[in-house]
Structure 1
Amino acid sequence: MSKLSLPAALKKADALVKSGDHVEARRLYQAVLSARPNHTKAKKALSKLGAVQSSSFANEPTEQIVRKIGEMFKAGDVSGAMTQTKRQLKVYPNSAHLWNFMGVFNNAIGETEAAIEAMRKVTSVNPNAAEAHLNLGNALHASQQFDEAAKSLKAAISLRPNYALPYFTLGNILNELSKFEEAIASYKNALRLKPDFVDAMIGLANALRRNENFDEAIEATERVLKIDPQNTQAGAGKAETYLNINDPESAEAALLPIIKSHPDSIFAKLMLGKVYVAQRNLDAAEACFRIVISRGGKVGEAFRQLSSVKKFREADDDLNAMEDYLESLGTRVNLIEREEMLFALAKVYRDLSEYERSFEFIRQGNAIMQERLGYDIRDDEETFEKLKKTAAKLVSYSVRGETDLMPIFIVGMPRSGTTLVEQIISSHSEVAAAGELSHIAMIGENLASGADEVSEAALENLRSRYLEKLAIRSEGKPFVTDKMPHNFRYIPMIAAAFPEAKIVRMKRDSRAVCWSNFWQYFSRVRLGYSFDLATTAKFYRMYEDLMRYWDEILPGRVLEFDYDQLTEDQEGQTRLLMDYLELDWEDGVMKPHENKRSAKTASNLQVTKPIYKASSAEWQNFEPYMDGVFDGLPE
């Protein structure tokens, strides 16, 4: 009150009443009455709150006490502030202010559970205060209790729908849970209420990128960089988006000004390491990852990236450092860091041929992702049935139109050889490689699943919008590959909207495919079947069943291309592929490992090597620890 005039104090108190923070509103009204005992408006306001001057602050200490404790904390005397707060709680056991202090102080000293309990007390004594629910949500988020945190944040939004901060924090949680569409909506709500909210812009860009809305993600980061040209998170995010569309040169260009102005930035240095991996400059990449580790930020991801570029030949200091760091994380907090470290150590022990230890690390890492992201195969079962039902309508359509582009769709299970085949095809002088594009799913998923009505107009819309986006990636060439594996779901829709398109469906030893999916760090719920070997095998059987149905209703429309036969007869299978694509033979297609384009997938480093025969046998090293989960799968 000492810093507010009477009109300002009354205005602030009125706003607090509207937001539900009655405790602080009462305090301000009482302060007004202390200065002007007969102030009519303040008296009426207190009366409406059901409070009278003699009892309204029975549960709250005086303003001077609250201010003194706050000043102690700001001065860095956390212990003293906490001691004073505990002493006051004996007198005012239901004080929202004091319990809020306890939450803040416990959080500051790392006592997360105590902080959460204190914040819960605040919401119980002042359930209509949006700020209290926001603080509880933040504490729960910090302890990775995502579902409970989301409930608290939604309560804050319900109490104060024009408050941007809960929308932002909820967006962060949804982003971590890989619920990208919901995260995008939450960030947009935050920005609707606070258009200059830079952190929300960065969160939105991240969610858009992870949802594979790459063009929009770049636009979002550019909006941040217009406001703050040296923002390291935005610069690193923009670079990562360029990496996702196989453009490491633009990624490096986005990073250079950030690194120049912020040479110690962990975000920028980690991303530069990823750029060097895409450019196959592995020594430079390793140096970047080591710098990130030494600075103590994003350590789990940096160790995982380091393990991917380094071949371990013996137990060394890096292995010791990884195991020490994993032990320091504990078992409940830092779940993402923990899963990153488990995958890193799985790679190290595989290099050292200690397959049982490697298997246990990869099993634990996947189990954490399942716990964190909550994949349920029943969702995919339901989706597949919807796709089958709608396909019967789609096959009766064949939309045609003028275009200079020939799309080549390369589909199949992830880790079935789609990246290698794109490298082969894009080694041809008439072919541009677009990598894994999300456009078919983003534009056409509702159509393919029956949520939108199947019609010629809908298919024409899909066709025109997709070809417009494909042209951007064509480099002026007539053929463009799109190697999004999960487009296998949409083959009937693709055949209807692009009757001239070529569709190559990859086939590979099912056991090698399932193992490779389980092995990869696929931290996305849409690939959540890979978090468990038995679930991966079940999903593969569902995939095979869906492909058989597509072949029944679209006989001869798709080329099934066998990865394992390619490794046995590279030239014969490559000629078969070129004939199907109606491309003239060029010797360069026999040297996909010399293709200079980067591949932003789990196969990036593998496609830099000549084709070899034993790649589908890797799973056999781990077979003794699988409990027969692959029994019955086709070879």
Structure 2
Amino acid sequence: MPDPLFSLSGAFGTGPNRELELRAQLAQDPADIAAARELADLLAQQGRAAEAIDLLERALDRCPDDQKARATLAALLLHSGNFERALKQFKQLRPPLRTSFETQTSEAGALGMLGRHAEQVEIYRKLLRQHPNDPRLWERLGNALKYLGRTAEAVRAFQRSVKIDASYGEGWWALANVKTFRFGADDVTAMRKALAGTAHPLHTAQLNYALGKALEDQGEFEESFRHYAEGNRIKATEFSPEQMTTARLTDYVDSAIATFDAALLSRASRTGDDGNHPIFVVGLQRSGSTLVEQILASHSSIEGLAEPDAMLHVWTDLESAAAKSGKTVWKTIGDLTPAGLDAIAAEYLQRIAPFRKERCPFFVDKRPANWMYVGLIRLVLPNAKIVDARRHPMASGFSNFKQCYAGNAFPFSYNLSSIGRYYAEYVRLMRHFDALQPGAIHHVLNEELIEDPEGQIRRLLDYVGVPFEPACLEFHRTKRAVTTASAEQVRTPLNRQGVDQWRNFDPWLGELRDALGPTLSDWDEIPR
């Protein structure tokens, strides 16, 4: 995620009385920009970002020169996923705000979320001329270069970050996250020394993940697993017990199955917008979704986007609307009129528009967690294609356990049991839609794709509705930004290297195996 610009909490008083006072003040004097800023801050603290954004936009119409209000608006837009609109606000700031470190790093973060990594690189290089000994800037420059496929330059940037600060766990993990990179003996020694000397929880976790990767590459599997497990233990402390459990996910899947029944889905008979053809690639993280996206994006009629969160924001907006009306989101969905369905589809297409650059007939929205919104997708975007990228649950499950995700993403992934239960719930929901609408979802099993690439790619393209093109077989030659942990892997030809890696750790994966239950034996039972 992008860097924060300014804190939006704790600056002013809170509570309903203060909100009423500020609204009364603005009713009396709509041009009181200080009151508008304070009220926007208060709304943001309450999770009412959309109201805060609307308030500040109206205030800036009256007082366009207020730089504090514009900076706050940029921050709100950034954290609400409105990256294009945030960039427009950044560009209207004046020095010193426009040229501040915080503004420039936030702008670079927004550009990265839109897949504009070359512009990101320019900003980071400019900042590094002013701050050459900032390890964070070197690490972020490295990530932008990695996404552009400039792996050797990325590695040098990551190495520079840990040379400046050997305890900077983010830099070591960034190196480990270059899946084709191999640590040397000196690196392992330096990481062990740094681990013994740092007390920073996140850096400690990241150093453990990086050491786990280094020791795995050396064949020291038992010690490697201990470091992976310790990294996960530390990361798990960032989340509440409620966030770590999958009990709520089970309830969610139960509700989704009950809501999206045959009667409701039969209403998805609208023709939709023939000028927009989304292809959603869903599944569990680390299951080959980036590979599927890269194959599709190698076709002349298909554009691959940066990993957008447009559908997540659509769902969040739907939940907010439901809460305001005093209904559950499931009741709200069931009550949607044709006009309501069209409005949600329009919101999605509006949110996805800033990510589209090539304007191909088709585009790929590759966000694995969108499997949770398959029912909504089928309802509001009936022409959309949905591709389920699936991999052996032990392989994808352990691959998640080895991954230190940025920020607060995927809390389920820091515990083997919760990974297993998450996988089982995902498969359960996919099977519901397979039963109701056979053929609506196309499944790509990673192992079958590796064994029979041309056959599986032809089936995939037939499902999408485009003719076969040889470039899809040569996907590793396609030049485009790739923003996931698989960035280097999809730039190499298909191979079996990662298929059975999890077996080296089989003695320590009992919790994952037990949590999967019957799904372990029937995960690959899909419509043929």
Give the TM-score range, shorter chain: 0.7 to 0.9
Structure 1 residues 277 and 288 mapped into 2: Cα distance closer, same or farther (>3 Å)?
same
1:115-126 counterparts in 2 under 5 A?
Answer: none
Distance 1:243 1:481 in 2: 17
Kindly provide the amino acid, as one letter, of the partner of residue 299 in structure 1.
Y
- Are 1:560 and 2:443 matched, yes or no? yes
Alignment correspondent of 1:112: none
The percent identity for this pair of structures is 26
Structure 1 residues 222 and 572 mapped into 2: Cα distance closer, same or farther (>3 Å)?
same
RMSD: 3.6
Structure 1 residues 199-208 or 457-466, which shifts more? Answer: 199-208
Contact 1:202 1:234 in 2 (8 A): no
Among 351, 356, 371, the residue aligned to 2:237: 371
Structure 1 residues 294 and 506 mapped into 2: Cα distance closer, same or farther (>3 Å)?
closer
1:504-515 counterparts in 2 under 5 A?
Answer: 504-515=387-398
Compute the displacement of 1:284 (Å).
1.9
Alignment correspondent of 1:397: 267
**Where does the alignment leave 5 or more consecutive residues of structure 2 unmatched?**
1-7, 23-33, 60-65, 320-328, 524-528
Alignment correspondent of 2:169: 300
- Give per-residue Cα distances to partners, 1:76-123, cap 9 Å, x unaligned: xxxxxxxxxxxxxxxxxxxxxxxxxxxxxxxxxxxxxxxxxxxxxxxx
Contact 1:225 1:234 in 2 (8 A): no
Larger radius of gyration: 1
Among 301, 310, 313, the residue aligned to 1:439: 310
Contact 1:233 1:267 in 2 (8 A): no
Alignment correspondent of 1:32: none
Distance 1:466 1:395 in 2: 19
Among 276, 281, 306, the residue aligned to 2:150: 281
Contact 2:397 2:419 in 1 (8 A): yes
Compute the displacement of 1:421 (Å).
0.7
Among 114, 136, 157, the residue aligned to 1:245: 114
Distance 1:395 1:557 in 2: 11
Alignment correspondent of 1:480: 363
Q: When the two structures are superposed, what TM-score results if normalisation uses the length of structure 1?
A: 0.66
Contact 1:233 1:268 in 2 (8 A): no
Contact 1:246 1:597 in 2 (8 A): no
Alignment correspondent of 2:470: 587
Compute the displacement of 1:351 (Å).
1.6
1:258-277 counterparts in 2 under 5 A?
Answer: 258-277=127-146
Alignment correspondent of 2:102: 233
Among 411, 414, 434, the residue aligned to 1:531: 414
Q: When the two structures are superposed, what TM-score results if normalisation uses the length of structure 2?
A: 0.78
- Are 1:312 and 2:182 matched, yes or no? yes
Alignment correspondent of 1:23: none
User: Which protein has greater RCO, CA pairs closer than 8 Å, 6+ apart?
Assistant: 2
Among 256, 281, 305, the residue aligned to 1:387: 256
- Are 1:457 and 2:339 matched, yes or no? yes
Aligned length: 466
Distance 2:52 2:209 in 1: 31
- Give per-residue Cα distances to partners, 1:337-394, cap 9 Å, x unaligned: 2222221211111121211111111111111221112223222223222322321364
- Are 1:610 and 2:493 matched, yes or no? yes
Structure 1 residues 190 and 630 mapped into 2: Cα distance closer, same or farther (>3 Å)?
farther
Structure 1 residues 526 and 428 mapped into 2: Cα distance closer, same or farther (>3 Å)?
same
Contact 1:280 1:605 in 2 (8 A): yes
Contact 1:292 1:298 in 2 (8 A): no
Distance 1:160 1:340 in 2: 44
Compute the displacement of 1:584 (Å).
1.4
- Are 1:344 and 2:226 matched, yes or no? no
Alignment correspondent of 1:255: 124
Give the secondary structure class of the aligned counterpart of 1:372.
Answer: coil
1:109-258 counterparts in 2 under 5 A?
Answer: 157=14, 182=47, 196=68, 204=76, 207-208=79-80, 212-219=81-88, 221-222=90-91, 227-258=96-127
- Give per-residue Cα distances to partners, 1:457-505, cap 9 Å, x unaligned: 2210121222234444051210111111111112222122222222111
Contact 1:273 1:286 in 2 (8 A): yes
Kindly provide the amino acid, as one letter, of the partner of residue 342 in structure 1.
N
Compute the displacement of 1:524 (Å).
5.0
Give the secondary structure class of the aligned counterpart of 1:616.
Answer: coil
Structure 1 residues 514 and 222 mapped into 2: Cα distance closer, same or farther (>3 Å)?
farther
Distance 1:299 1:380 in 2: 35
Distance 2:158 2:390 in 1: 35
Compute the displacement of 1:260 (Å).
4.2
Structure 1 residues 313 and 584 mapped into 2: Cα distance closer, same or farther (>3 Å)?
same
**Where does the alignment leave 5 or more consecutive residues of structure 1 unmatched?**
1-149, 172-178
Contact 1:221 1:234 in 2 (8 A): yes
Alignment correspondent of 1:137: none
Contact 2:128 2:137 in 1 (8 A): yes
Compute the displacement of 1:214 (Å).
3.3
Distance 1:336 1:436 in 2: 24
Contact 2:166 2:190 in 1 (8 A): no
Kindly provide the amino acid, as one letter, of the partner of residue 547 in structure 1.
M
Kindly provide the amino acid, as one letter, of the partner of residue 347 in structure 1.
K
Contact 2:272 2:382 in 1 (8 A): no
Compute the displacement of 1:269 (Å).
2.8
